[in-house]
Amino acid sequence: MLCTHCGTEIADKAIICFRCGAGTTDPVRQPARLPQRRSPLLGFVVVAVLLLLALYMGQASRTAADPGTYQTIAGVLAGVALFILILRLVRRR
């Protein structure tokens, strides 16, 4: 039998070609497809927007009649941004 990849004469019962390593038959199972990863840019944009909103709320609390509400919202936004950033960094490993 001839190797379909390199044309070398190989044994009839050979599983692979001894010269080039190409298989003599089609694989029984196809390799599993890996899911495509989303762009890492989206996560960092979301984190940046949340941090900007937190900064804005922090500045708005200086002139507000009830600064505690704005400071709470700013803290929650900053916490969510930090949480998302940590999750993204952990999932990369």
Supply the pLDDT for residue 51.
Answer: 92
Supply the pLDDT for residue 93.
Answer: 62
Looking up tokens 């969510």 gives 80
Domain ranges of the chain: 40-92
For residue range 55-64, list pLDDT tens digits in order. 999 899 888 8
Query: Tokens for 47?
Result: 């984190």
Query: Tokens for 22?
Result: 């190409």
For residue range 26-72, list pLDDT tens digits in order. 777 888 888 877 777 888 888 899 999 999 998 998 888 888 998 99
Q: What is the pTM of this model?
A: 0.55
Neighbouring C-beta atoms of residue 50, cutoff 10 Å:
20
Q: Which of 25, 29, 4 is nearest to 13 (CA)?
A: 25
For residue range 73-82, list pLDDT tens digits in order. 999 999 999 9
